[in-house]
Amino acid sequence: MSGMFHPPEESEAEVAATPYNPAPAEGSHSAIALVRDRTEQRLLAIEGVKGVGIGLDRIGSDALIVYALDASVRARVPAEIEGYPVEITVTGEIDAL
């Protein structure tokens, strides 16, 4: 029957493409990860800070992301750390599931 699908024989199977695993931009992601590692405990000690991560700022540059209980935390967190902008994301209370 011509309309039926027949899987290819093993010898006919197409070789899968290589997975895409881009390396971080030279010096950017690994450098910001080191900054996060050095400053995470200090940031978590600020009242209302619930977490610290790495992401992008509004213009697409590497940034430290501070997860905050509420918007008042913004006044207690520096706008920049070691040359990287700090973005505040208000999450409210974070509970482990």
pLDDT digit string, tens, across residues 62-86: 999 999 999 999 999 999 999 999 9
User: Is position 58 within any domain?
Assistant: yes
User: Is position 82 within any domain?
Assistant: yes
User: DSSP label at 8?
Assistant: P
Q: In whole angstroms, give the CA distance from residue 96 to residue 43.
A: 20
User: Is position 71 within any domain?
Assistant: yes
Pair 63, 84: CB distance under 8 Å: yes
> What domain count does the chain have?
1
User: Is position 72 within any domain?
Assistant: yes
User: Is position 81 within any domain?
Assistant: yes
Pair 40, 64: CB distance under 8 Å: no
User: Is position 30 within any domain?
Assistant: no
User: Is position 89 within any domain?
Assistant: yes
**Which regions in the chain score pLDDT beneath 50?**
12-14, 20-23, 28
Pair 50, 70: CB distance under 8 Å: no
